[in-house]
Structure 1
Amino acid sequence: MNLGIAGRHALICASSKGLGLACATALAQEGCEVTINGRDAQALESAAQQLRKLTGARVTAIQADLNTVQGREQIIAACPAPDILVNNNAGPPPGDWASFTREDWLGAVESNMLAPIALIQAYVPGMRARRFGRVVNITSAMVKAPLVHMSLSTTARAGLTAFCKAVSRDVAADNVTINNLLPERIDTGRQQFMIERRARLDGVSLEQARHTITQTIAARRFGTPEEFAATCAYLCSDLAGFISGQNVQVDGGTYAGLM
């Protein structure tokens, strides 16, 4: 399938590893010029070299901290007019909702709501003027199926979801779409962290913890970053212009609700 985005410029945030790097790879394979971002210079350069070798794409790397105003300004200055924006960032840690501090809440909101909103505000007006734009926010299954220990993630990302739903209706006529991808149990470093946490809490081995978690997934396995990234690439495509304001779950069929 030709996704019709060869030659488009895609900015993928927090993309030196994990889901961000997987999405950058998928878009580069579709012929996009890609700009990747991260805080660790060594990891970022390694990812850029990997992308160039694998795909032959033009790759630009921006070392900047998404969680700061200065970092976001650096990104916008270095990449002023992307056609595709993939918002991604590390998720807040799990924990006891009653123990979260004001600083915990402010940090979650800054990184998982205000940072992506700032980039949407910076880039979507230009997308509208050019009459093409694709925004995909990597959020979380917790937006639709909250778990109490993930309250920081749920709260910040639900706020982003509400903002994007409203904006998506305003910009759809200009061929700009805004959608959210909701991963659950994708086999990345973040998932390994959750396995290690489960093993500590239950006092079991990593293998036992991994098995316990997979039994909560309808598909009885973890998803792959490549499966997730393929969905992202499609939502960024020319073919997906009639899909906007949606929350697309990539969760192995685990979500039990109708909507």
Structure 2
Amino acid sequence: MDLGLTGKKAIICASSRGLGRGCALALAEEGVDVVLNGRDPEPLAATAREIRDRFGVQVTEVAADVSTREGQQALLAACPNPDILVNNNGGPPSRDFRKLDRQAMLDGVTQNMVTPLELVQAVIDGMAERGFGRIVNITSLSIYMPIPGLDLSSGARAGLTAFLAGVAKTVANRNVTINGLLPGKFDTDRIRSTTQFAADKAGVPLEEFAERQRREIPAGRIGTPEEFGKACAFLCSEHAGYITGRNMILDGGLYPSAF
């Protein structure tokens, strides 16, 4: 299927590795020029080289923390009029909620709620004026199935989801969509760290705990960033203009609900 994205421009936050990287690869494969972002220049440069070599699209690297004003300004300077914005950011580390002080809570909300909202504010009117825009927010299955230790991440991402559900309705008639992708367990640095935290807390060896988690997933495996990226690319496509304000769960059937 031709997704109708050739020549479009995308800002993809936190895209040097993990799920963001999967989204960047999938969009580049569809002919999208991409602005990549990460705090560590080495994996960022490696991802940029791979995308250039494989897909021949224009790739711009912005090594910056997207949660800072400076980082956001650098991204928007690299691509002032994006057709696509993929919001993504690392979440707070696993921690007992009793150990969260006020500054840690404010930092978590800034990372996972305020930062994506600021970027949406910066790009949404231009998208509406041009008559095309796709905003995809990578959040987490934990907003539906909270995970002890990730309470701050879950709360901030749930706030983002509720906030943008209303905003999505205001631009739908201008062919601008806002949707969320809610990953379950995917093969990323993040899932490895949270699995280690949970295994340590349970007093179980890491591999034993990881295998126990895999058995809980009806698909019998954890997901790959590449297949996650394909779902993102479809939500960004010209065929997805009638999908907005929705949250797509990608979890191999883990979430125990029919709705």
TM-score, length basis structure 2: 0.96
Corresponding residue for residue 220 of structure 1: 220
Alpha carbons 1:128, 1:171 under 8 Å: kept:
yes
Give the counterpart letter for 2:245 in structure 1: G
Alpha carbons 2:9, 2:79 under 8 Å: kept:
no
Question: How many correspondences in the alignment?
Answer: 259
Alpha carbons 2:9, 2:84 under 8 Å: kept:
yes
Q: Deviations over 1:89-127 (max 9, x none)?
A: 001122212221111111111110011001100001000
The farther-off stretch of 37-46 and 125-134 is 37-46
Corresponding residue for residue 192 of structure 2: 192
Give the counterpart letter for 2:223 in structure 1: G
The farther-off stretch of 37-46 and 170-179 is 37-46
The farther-off stretch of 83-92 and 210-219 is 210-219
Listed as ranges, the matches of 1:163-182 within 5 Å are 163-182=163-182
Q: What percentage of residue pairs aligned between the two structures are identical?
A: 48
Give 1:7 shift. 0.8
Give the counterpart letter for 1:166 in structure 2: G
Give the counterpart letter for 1:66 in structure 2: V
Matched, 1:158 2:136: no
Q: Secondary structure at the match of 2:136?
A: strand
Corresponding residue for residue 66 of structure 2: 66
Aligned counterparts of 1:171 and 1:34: Cα–Cα separation in 2: 23
Give 1:257 shift. 2.4
Listed as ranges, the matches of 1:16-35 within 5 Å are 16-35=16-35
Listed as ranges, the matches of 1:1-259 within 5 Å are 1-259=1-259
Give 1:148 shift. 3.4
Alpha carbons 2:89, 2:112 under 8 Å: kept:
yes
The farther-off stretch of 35-44 and 127-136 is 35-44
Aligned counterparts of 1:194 and 1:142: Cα–Cα separation in 2: 12
Aligned counterparts of 2:220 and 2:45: Cα–Cα separation in 1: 35
Aligned counterparts of 1:149 and 1:16: Cα–Cα separation in 2: 25
The farther-off stretch of 186-195 and 231-240 is 186-195
Aligned counterparts of 2:57 and 2:209: Cα–Cα separation in 1: 39
Give 1:200 shift. 2.3
Give the counterpart letter for 2:117 in structure 1: I
Give the counterpart letter for 1:95 in structure 2: R
Describe the shift of the 1:205–1:145 C-alpha distance in structure 2 as closer, same or farther (beyond 3 A).
closer
The farther-off stretch of 145-154 and 23-32 is 145-154
Give the counterpart letter for 1:12 in structure 2: I
Aligned counterparts of 1:152 and 1:111: Cα–Cα separation in 2: 10
Give the counterpart letter for 2:216 in structure 1: T
Give 1:147 shift. 2.7
In the alignment, structure 2 segments of 5+ residues that lack a partner are none
Give the counterpart letter for 2:72 in structure 1: R
Give 1:164 shift. 0.9
Aligned counterparts of 2:156 and 2:202: Cα–Cα separation in 1: 28
Give the counterpart letter for 1:246 in structure 2: R
Give the counterpart letter for 2:73 in structure 1: E
Describe the shift of the 1:222–1:152 C-alpha distance in structure 2 as closer, same or farther (beyond 3 A).
same
| RMSD, aligned α-carbons | 1.2
TM-score, length basis structure 1: 0.96
